[in-house]
Structure 1
Amino acid sequence: MVPKISDSEATTTTTPKRKISNFVFWNQTRIFILILSLTCLTLTQINSQIFTFTVICMDDLIVENRISNATEPHWIEGTTEKSILFSATAVGALVGLIPSVPLLNRLGVRLTLSICGLCSTLGTFFTPIAVSWSFYLVVLCRVLQGLGISVILTVLGVIPTSWSPKSEYSTYLAILSCAWQVSSRAHMPHQLFQSFQFSNVIFMPISGILCDSSLGWRSIYYAFGVLTGFFYFVFYMFYTDIPGIHKNVSEKELGQISEGKPVHAVREAVPYKKICTDRCVLAAWVSFLGGNLGFITLLLYGPTYLREVLQFDVRSTGYINALPYALCAVYKFSAGKISDRVTFASDKAIYTFWLFSSIIGLGIGYCIMAWTSDRIVAFVAFAFAIVTSGLIIMATVKCLAMRCQQHTHFAVSAISFLSYCVQFISPLGVGILCPDNTPEQWSRLFIIITVIMIVTNVPFPWLTTQHAADYTKRKDSREFSNVEKC
């Protein structure tokens, strides 16, 4: 996404005059921006995932319902109701995603993301209150949490593009993307979506402790609701969409950030039709759809699988579910550093390798989980699948960034749409295929997902390319090229 520039500024590439603070974070303001953004995105992602864990420790609602001599079972006992709540976040994300591209263009990352943070804060803090009132109010809170994550994938690409030096892009993106695999990139290469490791690493152990303590599951929502509100307030006050107007960015650091980057003085209309009919883009979208299905299923139903099928207790579930995401964060960071330094292979060879290493790893993990009856072996396979899945976004988003260039934000927004569709449909599929949470039912689900991942990723190496599309070239450049050919 290109920052909005007025007509008077469109003819020059100089940065507007600004007052520079005496404190410039030792010429490392971009690192503080990275940490602050990572914290906010992680908290937002945590909020959207809280219910997937607390659902296994909300038995007090059932007890209270029976004590009150209610004639109907509590909604927390219903498979359909829980599936609706799992899907409600995806509905909110889809609703928020629809206007996200024009909003980001008009309002910028700072204001758009702050609004999303407010929605996430309200939806999280008021969930325990909503539970006491009505199932439909809980659905509303889940939708608000979905609105909070609606722009995460797109923002994950925009912030590194604006704030990281070109030589640090992949590493910057790898770290920032760890907000979403906790638990999704947008303007250039490398890893986003499976990037939310930190949310699960932080959230799962804390939730396991609180759920098992006298404070109970409600304290999780209050704690993360307050933290989210605080850090988004700091983000709103400190972040700027353009490093060149930030008072804490020194001239030295600004030069590092700007070096080697093209200057887009005039924003261009997005060629929606050409992008949507580009076979390279379509192949990347389809590939991501299959790989994301494998990851989302583990993300949403990891705690349920560990508790109901492998029979781990609540506190153990929190710790052991966090371990694979911590390892995945390390794996992704290492991959980002290597990707920034590899010079002996083409970009296509690199991102194709990342993709197939992830898909093969996921497939192996799913197959072992489907066929083993040993809980330790099943957990190792579960962890292996999550760790290897983190590189899928490196492949698909890098491919899209190289192909779509300045229009990557739209291509990645489409990936967000596909991701939330999967998040919406996945609970329905699990509810149908695994109504009783038996090992046999889960084995059938794992085999089906493995087949889908393989089928959707076969076309990727044959249809993708590392070359920029013609629609990324400015009109005057294309006309000049045509004149040269004549």
Structure 2
Amino acid sequence: MRVTGDEKMADKVGDSGDVVKRKISSFVFWNQTRVFILALSLTCLTLTQINSQIFTFTVICMDDLIVENQMSNATEPHWIEGTTEKSILFSATAIGALVGLIPSVPLLNRLGVRLTLSVCGLCSTLGTFFTPLAVSWSFYLVVVCRVLQGLGISVILTVLGVIPTSWSPKSEYSTYLAILSCAWQFSNVIFMPISGILCDSEYGWRSIYYTFGVLTGFFYFIFYMFYTDAPGVHRNVSEKELGQIKEGKTDHAIRETVPYKRICTDPCVLAAWISFLGGNLGFITLLLYGPTYLREVLNFDVRSTGYINALPYALCAIYKFSAGKISDRIKFASDKTIYTFWLFSSIIGLSIGYCIMAWTTDRNIAFVAFAFAIVTSGLIIMASVKCLAMRCQQHCHFAVSTVSFLSYCVQFISPLGVGILCPDNTPEQWSRAFLLITGIMILTNAPFPFLTTQEAAEYTKHKKSPMGEFSEKV
């Protein structure tokens, strides 16, 4: 290593095997650049998730639209009063996410996380900032904005598996993944109370969209300027930290074709996908319809709904962080035992919460069950992503992108199902929905412990060809 001015020059091996020079800044964040990357990535993912959820809260405080429509002597009710229109807007984000997810794997292969996620952040920014204007003009423009917000979240789950693999040391993987996956919890902790306050203020619900639209654009600009797809090319990563990140990892620098067929027919991968499908149905329903359930069924007011809906997600974030830290330090149990425990503790917790909400008529007990279900649901995504990352290794981005696809399918179907099962938001209708979801979660998760494994699949390994070059086992 040699020093030139305020920068150091370190040798590194390029993809071609040649030794090239890497510039290292004199400021290396006290050998903790990966922590700054974690905080920045978490902030961006949280804001993107917030943008996709804002409508699920503001829909309960848009009464001014109905008043304005009546004062204008319109002959038709405003679209905000229609169950079908609201279901379409709930589902429009999932449509955008599915559309964006289709090219996500080739885009991530070609462009990397930095550029792909930045483009998604731009879509989310535009869709959020212009929603108030769209509401004033046309229902269909609101649908377009919701689709843009969906494009914004299209790669969240995929990069959730890629960023920790690239940036965290092997000994810190569970903690890194746990913190990064808190985007779903932090989004509710942050925007629910703020939304409750702004909805009741003189600024109204429109200010929520402007506030988070500006914040999203600002932080994604910082992300684009600072993030790199590999620690080895980041000028603020010291040689010491780079050694920590790479320690114990397999080098997969050689580009490979993703073995789509072998991944899609792998029993372990299939079990993880099916398990996530059922568990995510339970989580997404609470995520999308939590404010509606608290307001319409449990009869909390708007400001109270913002605060009390945020509380379970704050507790869930603490729970996930603790689980990640403990898992990184456990030596007496296998990785499969750990992530299977994560999954089943979440599914059992969700099922208990759903059953209590279905059977109780007491508002306080129902809220405690609601909070318990949210808190315990936090480890579902951690279990699925860790299982797929260990099994698929360098092809994890495809396996996790399929998890994203399933998540957005659930996000699309769930509002339609709730619209059919709970058209009037009565306690009886929600009870039937809760019991149905519980049954689906149990059935889809039963095969998980029997079919999953922590061993890397054969299609992730290399072998020497007769000519001495690496070739993939396809």
Shorter chain as denominator, the TM-score bin is over 0.9
| Matched letter for residue 317 of structure 2 | A
Counterpart residue number, 2:36: 32
Structure 1 position 439 matched with structure 2 position 444: no
Counterpart residue number, 1:416: 404
| Matched letter for residue 136 of structure 2 | S
Counterpart of 1:10 (choices 12, 15, 31) is: 15
Deviations 1:74-96 (A, max 9, x none): 00000000000000000000000
- Give the drift of 1:380: 0.2
* 8 Å CA contact retained: 1:13, 1:265: no
Counterpart residue number, 1:124: 128
More displaced stretch, 319-328 vs 163-172: 163-172
Q: Distance in 2 between matches of 1:94 and 1:314?
A: 31
Counterpart residue number, 1:45: 49
| Matched letter for residue 145 of structure 1 | Q
Q: Would the alpha carbon gap of residues 479 and 51 (structure 1) be closer, same or farther in structure 2, given more than 3 Å must change?
A: farther
Q: Aligned with 1:311: secondary structure?
A: coil
Deviations 1:97-151 (A, max 9, x none): 0000000111111111110000000000000000000000000000000000000
Q: Distance in 1 between matches of 2:394 and 2:239?
A: 25
Q: Would the alpha carbon gap of residues 478 and 323 (structure 1) be closer, same or farther in structure 2, given more than 3 Å must change?
A: farther
Q: Would the alpha carbon gap of residues 39 and 380 (structure 1) be closer, same or farther in structure 2, given more than 3 Å must change?
A: same
Pairing 1:321-360 to 2, within 5 Å after superposition: 321-360=309-348
Q: Distance in 2 between matches of 1:357 and 1:234?
A: 37
Q: Aligned with 1:19: secondary structure?
A: strand
Deviations 1:54-74 (A, max 9, x none): 000000000000000000000
Deviations 1:403-453 (A, max 9, x none): 111111111110000000000000000000000000000000000000000
Q: Aligned with 2:21: secondary structure?
A: coil
Pairing 1:11-410 to 2, within 5 Å after superposition: 11-12=16-17, 16-179=20-183, 196-410=184-398
Deviations 1:152-193 (A, max 9, x none): 0111111111111111111111111111xxxxxxxxxxxxxx
Counterpart residue number, 2:4: none
Q: Aligned with 1:270: secondary structure?
A: coil
Deviations 1:444-468 (A, max 9, x none): 0000000000111111111112222
* 8 Å CA contact retained: 2:177, 2:382: no
- Give the drift of 1:293: 0.2
| Matched letter for residue 134 of structure 1 | S
More displaced stretch, 455-464 vs 40-49: 455-464
User: TM-score, normalization: structure 2?
Assistant: 0.94
Q: Distance in 2 between matches of 1:202 and 1:339?
A: 27
| Matched letter for residue 24 of structure 1 | V
Q: Distance in 1 between matches of 2:138 and 2:169?
A: 49
Q: Distance in 1 between matches of 2:288 and 2:72?
A: 32
Q: Would the alpha carbon gap of residues 245 and 294 (structure 1) be closer, same or farther in structure 2, given more than 3 Å must change?
A: same
More displaced stretch, 463-472 vs 79-88: 463-472
- Give the drift of 1:204: 0.3
Q: Distance in 1 between matches of 2:459 and 2:317?
A: 35
Q: Distance in 2 between matches of 1:439 and 1:81?
A: 22
More displaced stretch, 257-266 vs 420-429: 257-266
Q: Distance in 2 between matches of 1:36 and 1:396?
A: 23
Q: Aligned with 1:17: secondary structure?
A: strand
Q: Distance in 2 between matches of 1:175 and 1:412?
A: 17
User: TM-score, normalization: structure 1?
Assistant: 0.92
- Give the drift of 1:315: 0.3
Q: Distance in 1 between matches of 2:158 and 2:62?
A: 34
Q: Aligned with 1:20: secondary structure?
A: strand
* 8 Å CA contact retained: 2:33, 2:236: yes
Unmatched tracts of structure 1, length 5 or more: 1-7, 180-195, 481-486
- Give the drift of 1:265: 2.5
* 8 Å CA contact retained: 1:131, 1:138: yes
* 8 Å CA contact retained: 2:48, 2:153: yes
- Give the drift of 1:379: 0.2
Q: Aligned with 1:402: secondary structure?
A: helix
- Give the drift of 1:476: 2.6
* 8 Å CA contact retained: 2:161, 2:385: no
Q: Would the alpha carbon gap of residues 200 and 451 (structure 1) be closer, same or farther in structure 2, given more than 3 Å must change?
A: same
Q: Distance in 2 between matches of 1:242 and 1:394?
A: 22
Identical columns (%):
87
Q: Distance in 2 between matches of 1:150 and 1:455?
A: 27
What RMSD over aligned residues (CA atoms) do the two structures have, in Å? 1.5
Q: Distance in 2 between matches of 1:18 and 1:467?
A: 35
Q: Distance in 1 between matches of 2:273 and 2:29?
A: 39
| Matched letter for residue 442 of structure 2 | I
* 8 Å CA contact retained: 2:181, 2:381: no
Q: Aligned with 1:262: secondary structure?
A: coil
* 8 Å CA contact retained: 1:293, 1:449: yes
Deviations 1:350-372 (A, max 9, x none): 11111111111000000000000
* 8 Å CA contact retained: 1:11, 1:265: no
